[in-house]
Amino acid sequence: MRLSALVLLLALPALRADEGMWTFDNIPVQKIKAKYGVALDATWLKNLQLATVRFPGGTGAFVSREGLVVTNHHVGRGAIAQVSTAKVDLVKDGFIAATRAEEVKVPGLELMMLVSMQDVTAQVNDAVKAGMADKDALTVRRNALGELRKAEEAKTGLTCEPVTLYQGGEYWIYRYKKFSDVRLVAAPELQVAAFGGDPDNYTYPRHNLDFALFRVYENGQPYKPEAILPFSPKGVAMGELTFISGHPGTTYRQQTHAQMVYARDIGIPYQLKSMTRQKAALQVLSATSPEAHRIAADAIYGIENGFKRLSGQLLGLAKAENLHKVEAAEAALKAAVAKDASQRARVGGSWDRVAQAVERQKALLAPSTLIGSGRVTLLGHALTLVRLAEEEAKPSAQRLTEFSEGNLKATKARLLSPRPVQKPIDATLLAVGLRDANDQLGSDHPFVKAMLAGLSPEAVAKAAVEGSKLDDPAVRKHLAEGGKAALAPSTDPMILLAKALDPFNRAIRKQVEDEVTSVFTEHGGRIAEARFKAFGKSLYPDATFTLRLGYGLVTTYANGTGTKAQPFTTYMGMYDRHLGWGGNAAAAEEGAWTLPERWLQRQGQLDLTTPFNFIYACDTVGGNSGSPVVNVKGEFVGINFDSVFEGQGGYYVYDADTKRAVATDARAILEALRKIMDAKHLVAELTGK
């Protein structure tokens, strides 16, 4: 029985403006053609798909036939910092490789290009038997996906990942080509890439030259990509249609009303408080020496960025009209389900089950957050090593998910990655985590007693990090290959700490999976089924850090200042903002609006009218950082780097009036390379001139 047209209309949150993060198997080409008169054919879409790559935490794109990749400076910042030293700070001072020989390889940096996708929904659902408990169904689905992943990797030689869409309405295997030889080619100075610092973050107008160039190599030679996005010779204009391809991280638009209320009242405030403590501790570390300041800068930036993003999400959830939309759509879908006997039997009670699981989520929030490795890299490696031999000895279906046969290869790859570990950061964050556990769980909690053994959190963290040898990939490899025989006699303090952590983490993890995650998966999936049955793929799925396409116009919006935001900024505006804050003599906001000396010395060489940043109405979230913005010809016109603070509520509820993305204009990149960065050879490569 189909739901009535009226009920469907009520239940469907209207897709306003150009809402949507569309998977490449389901691009709304007819809708785009009807609205804009633009026909996107399969060749155009395939070129955009293959030209787009995934960075850790973000996106990039091939922009030359010699394997040149553009991304955001802030996406590449960790890699740039990795190849910097105390004497040569490439983040602060910028970098240009004058020749291919000067391009700097970044150990452990891997880029991923989506080659193809396969719908495996039927195979996954067939593995779940009627009457199976929620927790068992969760395990069965995970194992089925893991086995499918393993089989596809063996068959194709590609790196495969399982993908869940529509809250379980669909399951896919995505196949990627992995690039492991990635070299830094160019980056501007941090003070220009992140001009305005944290005060200007998530605001507009902006003046950020937020780009970096890397080159992919294969077999020691520059990679020859099948697809590229050539720089547009004209740029983009107000009112012009743009497209963005990238990897939006996670959205929550298909969550229930109860889940969103939890995020507003409990989840996000808890995260914000935790991040405040972490930032304060890292700032103390940063103040100890110039080298500590350099090392801590990227971690502090990441926390500041996340804090502001979460604050914007909270602001969006606090708008009563946003949750009213969710509540109304939910009520309409419930009413529709109630009219269908089969749907009523399967889905009718699912909202209540999710709400009950939310109550358990509240109770388990602190222990599930604190009893784990957190953001401490060494402790994560140690916990993987402690579990590896034990889990491998079990049948695949009985293992922790990350150790199943289908996922084991990826887990080992992460463990053995040559990416360096910053011990001072680990020590600081471990101390904060242990201090939080002591304060929130209590000094008498068995986990706290086991981890601290009567010592202070700071003393335990210092001894474990400084005494550990696990920052050496060769040591990790030896322990991984040696199994229990190598691990049992190990006196590495981080291994010992992981052994103390392991049983407590297993217990809380099982409790969360049994009482929360499995319910969200099963009953969130059933609700998604009802929605999916009604609307099919006329809706887009929540973001999952997989490749998506969005579209929208270069436009303006009312940003709360009493006027409309300008669609473009210029180099002239950057210098005006610099001078308006007192130039380099000013210390306001830690020099957020100062400029590197060469940018002052060469100001006269720039065409100050060059478009710098622009806003446009594509639907984006975190993970879209570094996403290429292209015109209808598929030409590169800019690179996404931010979205406005007012639109951060879009993680949960889309608002066409405030959802605006911010990009660095391609013309600004070329102007800087020509006039400031002494990189005319790269301009020639990017433009063919």
User: Which token pair is 153?
Assistant: 């990797």
* Residue 140 CB neighbour total at 10 angstroms: 17
* pLDDT greater than 60 at residue 295: yes
Residue 531 to residues 169, 328, 518, 655, Cα–Cα distance (Å): 9, 14, 19, 21
* pLDDT greater than 90 at residue 314: yes
Please spell the DSSP secondary structure of 332-371, one letter per residue. Answer: HHHHHHHTSHHHHHHHTTHHHHHHHHHHHHHHHHHHHHHS
Cβ-contact 275, 258 below 8 angstroms:
no
SS (H, E, C) 555-607: CCCECCCCCECCCEEEHHHHHHHHHHCCHHHCCHHHHCCCCCHHHHHCHHHCC
Those residues with Cβ within 8 angstroms of residue 300's Cβ, 6 or more apart along the chain or in another chain: 279, 282, 283, 286
Give the E-state strand segments of 190-343 in sequence order.
Answer: 212-218, 221-222, 241-246
Range name among 79-83, 502-506, 520-524, 667-671 with the lowest pLDDT average: 520-524
Rounded average pLDDT over 449-476: 97
User: Which token pair is 233?
Assistant: 């010779």
What's the pTM value of the predicted model, to 2 decimals? 0.90
* pLDDT greater than 50 at residue 5: no
pLDDT at 11: 42
- Give the whole-number percent of the chain exceeding pLDDT 90: 87
Cβ-contact 657, 58 below 8 angstroms:
no
Q: Residue 512 half-sphere exposure, CB side, CA atoms within 13 Å?
A: 17
Those residues with Cβ within 8 angstroms of residue 192's Cβ, 6 or more apart along the chain or in another chain: 94, 208, 209, 595, 596, 599, 672
Average pLDDT, the chain: 94
Rounded average pLDDT over 148-165: 95
Helix (H) or strand (E) holding 629: strand 628-630
User: Which token pair is 201?
Assistant: 């973050």
Those residues with Cβ within 8 angstroms of residue 223's Cβ, 6 or more apart along the chain or in another chain: 67, 179, 215, 216, 217
Residue carrying structure tokens 């009209």: 321
* pLDDT greater than 90 at residue 671: yes
pLDDT at 4: 45
Domain extent listing, the chain: 5-110+180-252+541-687, 362-540
Helix (H) or strand (E) holding 412: helix 408-415
- Specify the amino acid at residue 272: L
How far, in Å, CA of 428 to CA of 379, rounded? Answer: 13
pLDDT at 17: 64
Confidence band, pLDDT 50/70/90 cuts, at residue 135: confident
How far, in Å, CA of 419 to CA of 373, rounded? Answer: 18
* pLDDT digits 0-9 by tens, 594-621: 999 999 999 999 999 999 999 999 999 9
Give CA torsion, residues 355, 357, 360, 364, to 10 deg. Answer: -120
pLDDT at 628: 98
DSSP, collapsed to helix, strand or coil, labels residue 488 as: coil
Strands 52-55 and 170-179: unpaired
pLDDT at 8: 42
Angle at which helices 134-156 and 518-535 pack, to 10 degrees? Answer: 70
pLDDT at 588: 67
* pLDDT greater than 60 at residue 12: no
Report, in angstroms and rounded to the nearest whole number, the Rg of the chain calculated over CA atoms.
25
Helices H, strands E: what count in the chain? 27, 19
CATH of domain 5-110+180-252+541-687: 2.40.10.120
How far, in Å, CA of 682 to CA of 670, rounded? Answer: 9
* Residue 445 CB neighbour total at 10 angstroms: 17
* pLDDT greater than 90 at residue 458: yes
How far, in Å, CA of 605 to CA of 608, rounded? Answer: 9
How far, in Å, CA of 430 to CA of 493, rounded? Answer: 13
Strands 628-630 and 111-119: unpaired
DSSP, collapsed to helix, strand or coil, labels residue 533 as: helix
* pLDDT greater than 80 at residue 1: no
Give the E-state strand segments of 369-494 in sequence order.
Answer: none
* pLDDT digits 0-9 by tens, 523-551: 998 998 898 888 878 889 999 999 999 99
Q: What's the first-to-final CA gap in the chain, in angstroms?
A: 61
pLDDT at 7: 42
- Give the whole-number percent of the chain exceeding pLDDT 70: 97
pLDDT at 558: 84
Confidence band, pLDDT 50/70/90 cuts, at residue 657: confident
